[in-house]
Amino acid sequence: MNSLVLRKTALGRDLAAKSAVVSTTGHLLPQQKPARLRRKGPVLWAAMALLVLAADFLLACLAWLAVDFVMG
């Protein structure tokens, strides 16, 4: 067998050994903690900025109508 096949086989065995089974208490072992979710980044920040701008615009319109009602 060539060395690449041997390395792949050894890597597969290492990965299988690292994927531990749930312990007898039913809790996940430290190696089995789920991976952290990646941060959404610019898309989430852009959506948040648009939401804040929309709320600001709505409040400005309500203030304009309130002033118009009081002065009118």
Boundaries of domain holding 62 = 3-31+39-71
Per-position pLDDT tens, the chain of length 72:
567 655 666 656 665 555 544 445 665 555 656 666 666 788 899 999 999 999 999 999 999 999 999 998
Distance CA(8)–CA(66), nearest Å, equals 72
Can you spell out the DSSP letters for 3-20?
HHHHHHHHHHHHHHHHSP
Q: Which helix (H) or strand (E) holds 42?
A: helix 42-71
Structural domain count of the chain: 1
CA distances from 21 to 34, 37, 39, 64 (A): 14, 22, 29, 63
